[in-house]
A = this chain, B = another copy of it.
């Protein structure tokens, strides 16, 4: 059976749980509390030397880190991953966009606010993250004004990946009301069969 090592407040962990659930893959969830330093223990670092959740343990005992690599691994051969060569590359395009332009800004701003980590020396970086986070939401809005989903007009792991931290962006003090196409898309993602909510929303 697959084992997901994750944190219940981590959107990166949630996106893996959502894919596992929607694909009907049996799994167990081992909670790793990042705020308690549980990603920095010798035991966890043996699973992922980069010290981050999520990590997927595969049946043969291999540990696979990086949420979006896990999404690709799980979705291969399912309706959540296209078969067309260009559409597959476009799914990856949005997955890399999410990890470079979206998550470090929107998820980190949310984390700093929720965990009381917005120290004075981080004020400048926080302001930069707000600008960059709003820019990322603008790129999504522009795309979703013309498309129902991110790739091929079908629900895929590109949508799941971007949903994870977009739907809780308000917790990072981002105002989603400025992005009506994004809000309509969030509703479309929520209405997919087998959708489960992120805990602590």
Binds B, one of A3-11, A92-100, A162-170: A92-100
Contact partner, A124, options B68, B85, B125, Cβ 8 Å: B125
In the bound assembly, the distance between CA atoms of A58 and B93 in angstroms comes to: 14
User: A146 CB to closest chain B CB, in angstroms?
Assistant: 11
User: A118 CB to closest chain B CB, in angstroms?
Assistant: 13
In the bound assembly, the distance between CA atoms of A68 and B100 in angstroms comes to: 11
Contact partner, A100, options B88, B100, B121, Cβ 8 Å: B100
- Chain B residues whose C-beta falls within 8 Å of the C-beta of A69 in the assembled complex: 89-90, 92-93, 95-96
Q: Does the CB pair B142–A49 fall under 8 Å?
A: yes
- Chain B residues whose C-beta falls within 8 Å of the C-beta of A121 in the assembled complex: 124
User: Which positions 17-67 of chain A face chain B at CB distance < 8 Å?
Assistant: 49-50, 58, 62, 64-67
In the bound assembly, the distance between CA atoms of A122 and B125 in angstroms comes to: 8
Known A49-B139, A49-B142, A125-B124; contact A86-B68, beta-carbon cutoff 8 A:
no
- Chain B residues whose C-beta falls within 8 Å of the C-beta of A125 in the assembled complex: 124-125, 128
Binds B, one of A70-78, A109-117, A176-184, A193-201: A70-78
Known A49-B142, A50-B139, A72-B89; contact A66-B97, beta-carbon cutoff 8 A:
yes
User: A73 CB to closest chain B CB, in angstroms?
Assistant: 4
Q: Does A171 contact B (CB under 8 A)?
A: no
Q: Does the CB pair B72–A143 fall under 8 Å?
A: no
3 closest A-B pairs by beta carbon, nearest first, are A73-B89, A69-B92, A69-B93
